[in-house]
Amino acid sequence: MLNKRILVVEDEEDILELVRYNLSREGYQVLCSTSGEKALKISRSEALDLIVLDLMLPGIDGLEVAKALKNDSKTQDILIIMLTAKGEEADIVTGLELGADDYITKPFSPRILIARIRALLRRKSIKPDDKTSIIQHHGLIIHPGRRDVRINGKPVELTYTEFQVLHYLAKRPGWVFTRYQIVEAVRGDDYPVTDRSVDVQIVGLRKKLGPFGKYIETVRGVGYRFREKK
């Protein structure tokens, strides 16, 4: 984990210093920002492995920062841990929807934050690279590297999470996955996302895929699968 570069985005100086101190002590290279605007500038000019991102920031808030990062091919692979006092389920789901990899509420334990960071970086280091594996299923084409989905040549606009779920199911057609497996694969384990959240993603996907939505099949009492080619 040495030499991993982490950006801490927090407008409260005491919390910023607390996180900076603990991460530096663990051997990470730490950059700091007190605003969303500065965070975006740093993210686009520096090679970062992970961002610890507060939500309630002056100017551009944390959700907008996350959205901008995940919509930019240069920064979309940077891991994001949201660190915030907004702990309602709706806030957590929104953060994860926009592409956050984890979500920690304040007040927090620096030891738990460091453990979450280690887990995310470790998972990323062993995660297989699927970015060159284009998936074609009749008229449906999924390009992981470009995060691009097309049906009969026409682009389909998906959220970050919808794309992750679709890609996860489609790259193993015929396999049945539980809701927990889908959450674990898309976000990692130990995340506060309910089974209902997965169901909502599937409903949204089916609607956007139109006639191709039928290829995402519900396996009653188990979960979901992507229909095999026939």
Task: Name which of 29-43, 76-90, 119-133, 148-162 the model is least confident about.
Answer: 119-133
- Half-sphere exposure (CA, 13 Å, Cβ side) for 23? 24
Residue 102 and residue 159 share a domain: no
Pair 22, 78 in one domain: yes
pLDDT beyond 90 at 196: no
Q: Are residues 96 and 62 in the same domain?
A: yes
Q: Beta strand pairing status for 154-155 and 177-178?
A: unpaired
Give the CATH number for residue 36.
3.40.50.2300
Which of 28-42, 142-156, 183-197 holds the top average pLDDT?
28-42
CA 211 – CA 92 distance, rounded (Å): 31
Do 117 and 140 fall within a single domain?
A: no
Residue 139 and residue 121 share a domain: no
* Amino acid at site 167: H
What's the first-to-final CA gap in the chain, in angstroms?
Answer: 45
Give the helix/strand (H/E) hosting 67.
helix 62-70
- Would you state the pLDDT for residue 190? 46
What are the tokens at 84? Answer: 């915030």
Please state whether beta strands 50-53 and 79-84 pair in parallel, antiparallel, or not at all (unpaired).
Answer: parallel
Predicted local distance difference test score (pLDDT) of residue 169: 92
pLDDT tens readout for residues 158-170: 988 889 899 999 9
- Of 126, 157, 184, which marks where a domain is finished? 126
Q: Which residues contact 176 (CB under 8 A, 6 or more apart)?
A: 219, 222, 223, 224, 225
Sign (positive or negative) of CA dihedral 40, 97, 208, 219 = positive
Residue 189's pLDDT is what? 45
Largest CA distance in the chain: 60
Q: What is the mean pLDDT of residues 207-215?
A: 93
Supply the DSSP symbol for 61. Answer: -
pLDDT of residue 88: 67
Q: What is the DSSP letter of 158?
A: -
Can you give the residue range of the structural domain that contains 139?
135-226
CA separation for the pair 151, 106 (Å, rounded): 43
pTM check: above 0.85: no
Q: Residue 85's pLDDT band (boundaries 50, 70, 90)? A: confident
